Structure 1
Amino acid sequence: MRGLFQPDKHATRVILKDHPVPKPNFELNEHLIRVYTVAPCAGELLWSANYPVPDPQSKVLIPCFDVEGTVMAAPQSSPFKVGEEVYGQTNYYRTGCASEYTIGRTEELALKPKSLSWAEAVTVPLSSLTVWQALFTHAGLGGFSPDRYRGKRMLVTAASGGVGIWAVQIAKLAGFEVVRTCGPRNVDFVRSLGAAEVLDYTTTNMREWAETDVKKVDLVLDCVGKRTLEDTWWAVKEGGVLISISQPPEQVRPADWSGKAVRNLFFIMVLDGAALMQISNMIEKVKCRPVLDSVWPLEKFEDAFKKLASGHARGKVVIDMLARV
């Protein structure tokens, strides 16, 4: 089979070459999947160097852990049958999915929403599950139900990116009044997703914006890190929560910040096929929708990774494993 490969864990590029088709281990609930589309994640080519796996010798460095495709072989006990279309995110400890065939385990998968195309579906797992876990697991607010958090305010940075797009929609469904930051060209787009207030990060001073308690928020979800994360410390209320998916917030807490009782944390999303099924149901009921930036044929994988690295993608960048140029 053809696939993309990272030459070594320190490489920041990938190459296209042939590799043996993997064999599923049914005792480990593994499925063989014919891959239709994958979605790379920003910065993922640095993961192997920064987050070593327990047994690096057993892992071929194939990128892209968001996957959509058809089940070709499955354990007898699997809820997913041969011929069904599934999507999900596979475990980083194993090989990624940017190849013509890959392995997915039961707990990593969900049935693809029928209303979505292959390319649209693969944009969902990583980004939506990150938001789901930030809000309903790590924020300590409890689980999801419509309008449960009405009256609470939430700030999301990089609202036009893959995670930010889902944060706007899921938080709004949960009842949050959502404030988002983005660049000037994306203000109208982010507002169309349901944001109550959109801040242009190129012209807004977060500390000045948050000087009054009326402006401050109950929850911050940061998707950027560094200076942007540092600025969000001024926006969260006393007793609020500051969550980052980029780095621990304590690393950039302003020296002159004088707030109290703000719980802050950094987390990495874990696989959860059951939660992905809940999100799928919301998609089918047209409660939320993915946003697709661009689709690239496999042979143009370098252009796909360049677009992702540019930082200017609106939504997710997708590689079509079936398309030919």
Structure 2
Amino acid sequence: MRALIRTGPSKSLTLTSDLPEPSSSDSSQSYIIRTHATALTRDELTWPEPLSIDVPIPGFDLAGTIISAPTTASAKFKPGDEVYALTTSTWQGNAKEVSIAVENELSLKPKNMNWEEAASVPLSALSAWQALFVHGRLTPPSSEQNMKSQNSGKRVLVTAASGGVGIWGVQLAHLAGAEVVGTCGSSNVEFVKGLGADVALDYTETNLKEWVDENKDARGFDVVLDCIGGQTLEDAWKSVRKGGRVVSVAEPPDGKNPKEGLAEGVEGVWFIVEPNGGQLGEITRLIERGECKGMVDSVFSLEQWSEAFERLQGGHVKGKVVLRLDREIERH
């Protein structure tokens, strides 16, 4: 099968056409899946974990059709099911024509998304879900009005709000009933407002810390989802209310803790997203109800992998860069 392989500890990649396909004999508990699309993540070629296996492959988002399933009676999915997932159980990514996933990574693909749209969702949406509702301790969104009211009065800041994780952070925090502020470039202000942000701050014109300091009681945050790191993360610490949390997917927040000028009891959290088919199923329901959506910045064929990574690393990407694995250009 065709596959994109990391050829060593560097960022070098090679496209091959003779990688052996996985089979059900490789693991009796795994699903074999025909890969239709995978999404790429900025800086994933610097991650050490994928290099722990013999054949490292990028792309940890998966959208595809199940070819074979475990033979156990309890298997949740069956051949022919259209699924999507964040897969890290083997740390071999999905920029290959046939993939393997375990059951707790999988969810049925949203019926109202094509393959490329579905591939843009799992890693980013699960990162935002876990940042807000596991580590940020907000109550997840629900159709129940009283569930939303549990977050009433809570204020959430999402930095890089037009990026892969930021898009989901804004939407999910809004759906959960929190007041949401997102930072972005000037060209994305209206886009971020359209996602549900109550305020979209143009970082080229507005200094976050100064903006908050103008009225910290009203503008301070209970949860910060930081997707940038650096000076932005340091400023975020001073923008949090008493007892609030700085949750970072960019870098460990404690290293940017300014120590002084902080509200009482502010905590920093660093985490790495984990596959979770149950949480992805909740996200699927929100998507199918039309309450939130993924965002595809651009789509490339597997043979165009070099252009795809150039687009990704160039910055100012709106949403996800996706690789299409189907040999024929066909959309579902």
What TM-score results when the alignment is normalised by the length of structure 1? 0.94
Does structure 2 conserve the Cα–Cα contact (< 8 Å) formed by 1:299 and 1:324?
no
- Equivalent residue of 1:210, what SS? helix
Query: Does structure 2 conserve the Cα–Cα contact (< 8 Å) formed by 1:26 and 1:75?
Result: no
What's the counterpart of residue 184 of structure 2? 182
Gaps of 5+ in 2: none
Match of 1:158 in 2: 160
Partner of 1:205: 207
- The C-alpha deviation readout for 1:5-30, integer Å capped at 9, x for no partner, is 0111x221321012111123586520
Residue equivalent to 1:306: 310
Distance in 1 of aligned mates of 2:99 and 2:212? 47
1:66 to 61, 65, 76: 61
User: C-alpha separation between the residues in 2 aligned to 1:208 and 1:265?
Assistant: 24
Determine which of 267, 281, 297 is the counterpart of 1:263: 267
Distance in 2 between residues matched to 1:52 and 1:17, nearest whole Å? 18
* Farther off after superposition, 25-34 or 183-192: 25-34
Whether the 8 Å CA contact 1:65–1:92 is kept in 2: the answer is no
| Residue aligning to 1:227 | 231
Partner of 2:77: 80
Note the C-alpha offset of 1:251. Answer: 0.5
The corresponding residue for 1:43 is 43
- In structure 1, C-alpha distance between the alignment counterparts of 2:135 and 2:153, rounded to whole Å: 20
Aligned partners of 1:22 and 1:102 also within 8 Å: yes
Measured against aligned partners, the alpha-carbon deviations of 1:6-60 in whole angstroms (never above 9, x if no partner) come to 111x221321012111123586520111110000111111112xx477xx3x441
Distance 1:28 1:130, change over 3 A: farther
Aligned amino acid, residue 229 of structure 1: L
Cα 1:94–1:249 shift into 2, 3 Å:
closer
Task: Indicate whether 1:294 and 2:271 are aligned.
Answer: no
State the secondary structure of the residue aligned to 1:35: strand
Amino acid at match of 2:180: V
Note if contact 1:59-1:95 (Cα within 8 Å) is conserved in structure 2. Answer: no
How many pairs does the alignment contain? 319
SS in 1 for 2:15: strand
Q: Percent identity?
A: 44
CA contact (8 A) 1:220 1:242 kept: yes
Q: What's the counterpart of residue 15 of structure 1?
A: 14
For 2:117, which of 115, 120, 125 is the aligned residue? 120
CA distance in 2, matches of 1:26, 1:277: 27
Q: Which amino acid aligns with 1:279?
A: I
Taking the aligned partners of 2:179 and 2:303, their CA distance within structure 1 comes to: 43
Residues 175 and 114 of structure 1, relative CA distance in 2, 3 Å threshold: same
Tell me the distance in 2 between the aligned counterparts of 1:133 and 1:258. 24
1:298 Cα deviation from its structure 2 partner: 1.1
Cα distance change on mapping 1:92 and 1:202 into 2, 3 Å = farther
CA RMSD of aligned residues (A): 1.7
Whether the aligned pair in 1 keeps the contact of 2:89 and 2:102 (CA below 8 Å) is no
SS in 2 for 1:33: strand
112-121 or 89-98, which moves further after superposition? 89-98
**For residues 307 and 31 of structure 1, what CA distance do their matches in structure 2 show?**
31
Give the aligned residue type for 2:132.
Answer: L
Check whether the contact 2:89–2:101 (CA below 8 A) recurs between aligned residues: no
Distance 1:25 1:125, change over 3 A: farther
AA partner of residue 281 (structure 1): R
Matched to 1:272, the amino acid is: N
Alpha-carbon distance in 2 for matches of 1:272, 1:59: 25
Distance 1:94 1:207, change over 3 A: closer
SS of residue paired to 1:170: helix
**1:102 alignment counterpart:** 99
User: Paired residue for 1:196, among 189, 195, 198?
Assistant: 198
SS in 2 for 1:307: helix
